[in-house]
Amino acid sequence: MTTQVIVLNGGSSSGKSGIARCLQAVLPDPWLTFGCDTFVDALPLALRTASEGSGGIEVAPDGEVTVGPGFRALEAAWIEGIATMARRGARVIVDEVFLGGPASQERWREALGDLGVLWVGVRCDGAVAAGRETARGDRVAGMAASQADAVHRGVLYDLEVDTTHAESLECARAIAARAV
C-alpha cells in the first residue's frame, strides 16, 4: 500500500519537527506537515491558558500536560480534517505527541482508516531531550523528560528512530526508505 500519511510520535524536544522538515526535503512529491504545536497555537486563547477547568490544555509547572473536553472536541475535528486531506490526495506528515499512549494512537487510527499510514516512533533519551528543551527556551522545564518514554508506552510502530545521537536527516532518510 502506498504511504499517504507518516505519523511521527515522540515526546517534546525529541526532534520530530526537524525530521518532518527533512522528510519534506528527501521524499519525492510534496508532503504537507501538520504538528500538534500548530494545533495548539490555533486554539482560542481561552483553551490555551493554564486556567484550571478551562477544558483546554493545561501545562503544570513540572511540565505535565493535561487536556480537557474542549481540547478533545477540537482535536477530533483537527484529526478528521487531516485525514480528509489525505483522502483527497495530499500526502501528510503528522508531528504528534501521544499523551494518552495507545488511546491517542487509536484516535488517529480510526480517523485514518484505510489510508496507507507509516507509524514512526521518534525516541530521544530524556536527559538529551531536556537539554534541547532548555536550549529552546519556549517549553516548560520538565516536559521533555516526563514525555520521553511515556508517549511510547503501548504504542505500536512500523519503524522507530532515535535522535539521541542521530541527526534529523539520517532519521528522515530511514523513514523515507520505508515510506516509498
Query: Do 95 and 8 form a contact (C-beta atoms < 8 A)?
Result: yes
How far is the C-alpha of 33 from the C-alpha of 5, rounded, in Å?
10
Of these residues, 29, 37, 41, 138, which one is catalytic? 37
Cβ distance 170 to 131 under 8 Å?
A: no
Using only the alpha carbons of the chain, give its radius of gyration: 16
CA pair distance 129, 17, nearest whole angstrom: 13
Alpha-carbon torsion 166, 168, 173, 177, what sign? positive
Active site residue 37: yes
CA distances to 50, 85, 179 from 93, rounded to whole Å, are 28, 11, 11
User: Do residues 94 and 107 lie in contact, with contact meaning Cβ atoms separated by under 8 Å?
Assistant: no
Going from the C-alpha of 79 to that of each of 54, 107, 118, 142, the distances in angstroms are 21, 8, 16, 27
Q: Are 168 and 21 in contact (CB under 8 A)?
A: yes
Q: Which residues are catalytic?
A: 37
